[in-house]
Amino acid sequence: KKYDEFTKLSIHNHFGSKDSEKKINEPFNKIMKMDYDSVIKRLEDAEKNDFELLALTNANAFKVVDYITIRLLAKEYKIEVLPGVEINVSNKDGTNYLHTVLILDSNSNLLQFQEELQKCYNSNNNNYISIEQLVKIILEKKVIIIPHGIKQSGGQRSASENSEQFKEIIAFNDAIPVIIEDNKSYHKETLIQKLKNELNKEELAWLEESANISAADRTSYSKIESPSYIWGKASFNDLFFASLMKESRIKREEDIIVKTSYISQIEIKPKEGISNSQISHAVINCSHGLN
């Protein structure tokens, strides 16, 4: 590993061919099929570029059987894969859609989530869900919400062009961690400028303190210009905690500081020759964050 205490990750990844997901203009009841040859190539690419934590986030498609199979395949490459999906969150009129990634705890009732998500598509006769539907399917689950920031502005799928849905998603932050997906760290400043007349003072304050994170999406892992890391292990719980802690636990590669010296271990020894000492021997292993 390049950085001992950090995990290199991509939270938005498409696996398989076009047959494994559903775009907004495709039938909501489309029969999907996973291309596992392309899955293996994608995992090989991730391993080659030292990624340890990925999320399966195909567009408007969540199939538990595909997730379990891909996770098992990924273990051969020493990669952990989390369950997730990329959804279209609609405005009230159903005319604009904010691309939003959901990542779930693998210990959740994933079959129930699969059924609930498909019911939303069936109800709308389309591959999008409303804010009200989003609340129902995630509020009682352990989940991380990741809307696009300025990413895909040209296709009107970004938060910068969908302030109505973005404001509602910010409101989730009291109960569910929310982070923003963008390719570069400075994109957050661009997003703030674009939304400064759309958000209130509290929402802008949240945006200024929020963390943003990069991902491969549909591209090669080698093309991520500013890869993201969490200060933690390759697990959902570590990602969840990092999301709560924001920029103190989510770092871009260029922001990671490798210290030349730090306290790595503290050893406590009882004084020799003293019986019934209240001090017992102990070893405390420390992080590079303790200097």
Write out pLDDT tens, residues 90-126: 999 989 999 999 999 999 999 999 999 999 999 999 9
Rounded Cα–Cα distance for residues 184 and 197 (Å)? 23
Q: For 155-202, how does the pLDDT look when each residue is reduced to its tens digit (9 = 90+)?
A: 899 999 999 999 999 999 988 999 999 999 999 999 999 999 999 999
How many residues are present in the chain?
291
Q: What is the pTM of this model?
A: 0.92
Rounded mean pLDDT of 59-83?
98
Triad 95, 104, 125: Cα angle to 5°: 30
Rounded mean pLDDT of 58-70?
97
Rounded Cα–Cα distance for residues 228 and 179 (Å)? 12
Rounded mean pLDDT of 246-265?
92
Helix 131-138 and helix 163-171: axis angle, to 10°?
A: 30
pLDDT at residue 226, rounded to an integer = 96
Paired with 268 in beta bridges are: 282
Q: Are 220 and 210 a contacting pair, CB within 8 Å?
A: no
Rounded Cα–Cα distance for residues 165 and 173 (Å)? 14
Count the Cβ atoms, other than its own, within 10 Å of residue 105: 18
> Residue for token digits 């770092």?
251
pLDDT at residue 140, rounded to an integer = 87
